[in-house]
Amino acid sequence: MGPGWFESVVYTDFTDTRGEVVERDMPEMRSGTDVERYTAKVRDYLCRQPENLALRKLRSGKSLTPADLASLEELLARSGVGAPEDMARAVANAHGLGRFIRSLVGLDQQAVQEAFAEFLGERTATASQIDFVNLVIGHLTRHGEMDPKLLFEAPFTDAAPQGPTRLFAPEQTRRLVGVIKSINDSVATTA
């Protein structure tokens, strides 16, 4: 191709075979709310509510009362994010309002560290044990709760290839799981 190849003029003679254009009314179609967008918007809103007492209790791992849950539900309703059915679906998928919100805002790292302080302070812990517990603390801080079964999966098995049962004595492993469960259970209401 030499210079000027793009300067050639091309003529076409097309005949429209589709026929006449006709406008049609389409029924209103509501697109479903993208779950990731919804949760991102709720997370953003909740992060801008640092003074809400129920939210602070949730992030600190303290037990919630029915009044706390009512306050959190009102907080979400005031956010204006999504439709009520979006919130209902997200809460049902998370198995409760407290779990849903905590999965978005996580836990305060200091509160999680305090929950594990007694566990680690019972006797002198090895560097490997401390690293393992720090992985657990990091997971709880980010996600707000943890299924103890995850202790036997990566990244925990990267620190302890056969899980915590090889790193800790049986009683210590039970106590480790107990601390995790108590943190998980703190989102349930108390009378």
Residue with tokens 């602070």: 56
Residues 121 and 100 in one domain: no
Flag whether 70 is in a domain: yes
Flag whether 26 is in a domain: no
pLDDT 10s digits, 154-185: 999 998 998 999 999 999 999 999 999 999 99
Residues 94 and 118 in one domain: no
Q: What is the pTM of this model?
A: 0.73
Does residue 145 or residue 82 have the better pLDDT?
A: 145
* pLDDT tier at 27, thresholds 50, 70, 90: low
User: Residue 118: pLDDT above 70?
Assistant: yes
Residues 125 and 68 in one domain: no
Mean predicted lDDT score pLDDT of the chain: 86
Residue with tokens 């210590």: 172
Flag whether 79 is in a domain: yes
25's CB contacts (< 8 A; 6+ apart) are none
Residues 76 and 132 in one domain: no
Does residue 80 or residue 23 have the better pLDDT?
A: 80
Within 10 A of 121 (CB to CB), how many other CB atoms are there? 9
Flag whether 144 is in a domain: yes
The DSSP code sequence of 63-106 is PBPHHHHHHHHHHHHHHT-S-HHHHHHHHHHHTSHHHHHHHHH-
Residues 101 and 160 in one domain: no
Question: Is the CB of residue 66 less than 8 Å from the CB of residue 98?
Answer: no
Residues 52 and 98 in one domain: yes
Domain that holds residue 162: 109-184
For the chain, the domain total comes to 2
* pLDDT tier at 191, thresholds 50, 70, 90: very low
Does residue 137 or residue 32 have the better pLDDT?
A: 137
Flag whether 23 is in a domain: no
Residues 43 and 101 in one domain: yes
Residues 100 and 135 in one domain: no
Residues 177 and 128 in one domain: yes
Residues 51 and 94 in one domain: yes
Residues 94 and 133 in one domain: no
Residues 114 and 99 in one domain: no
